[in-house]
Amino acid sequence: MHPSTRNLTLFGLAALLIAALIGFALTRQAESPGMVKPITGKNEPGQAKLVDQSPLETAHNLSNVASTGEEQKLAAEAVRIADHEVDIAFASALQQAQLHPPAENAETKELNRRIRFLDSRLQAVQEHVSRLTKLAANPGTNDAHAIQQQLGIAQARAALLQDGLDDAKEDLTRAGGDPQAQIKQELEGHEALQHGSGNAFGWFVVQADILQR
DSSP 46: T
> Would you say the pTM of this structure is higher than 0.95?
no
Strand-pair partners of 51: 36
Q: How many CB atoms lie within 10 A of CB 42?
A: 12
**Angle value at C-alpha 183, between 121 and 101, nearest 5 degrees:** 65
Per-residue pLDDT in tens (0 to 9) along the chain, 213 residues: 555 555 555 556 666 665 655 454 444 444 444 444 444 444 444 567 778 888 888 888 877 777 778 878 887 888 888 888 888 888 888 888 888 888 889 999 999 999 999 999 999 999 999 999 999 888 777 788 899 999 999 999 999 999 999 999 999 988 988 888 888 888 888 887 776 544 444 444 444 454 444
Give the whole-angstrom CA distance, residue 83 versus residue 15. 16
Q: What is the structure's pLDDT at 10?
A: 56
Give the whole-angstrom CA distance, residue 117 versus residue 113. 6
CB 179 within 8 A of CB 39: yes
In the chain, domain spans: 3-102+179-212, 106-174
- Helix (H) / strand (E) containing 184: helix 179-194
Report the half-sphere exposure of 108 (CA within 13 A, side-chain side).
17
CB 197 within 8 A of CB 137: no
Q: Any idea how long the chain is?
A: 213
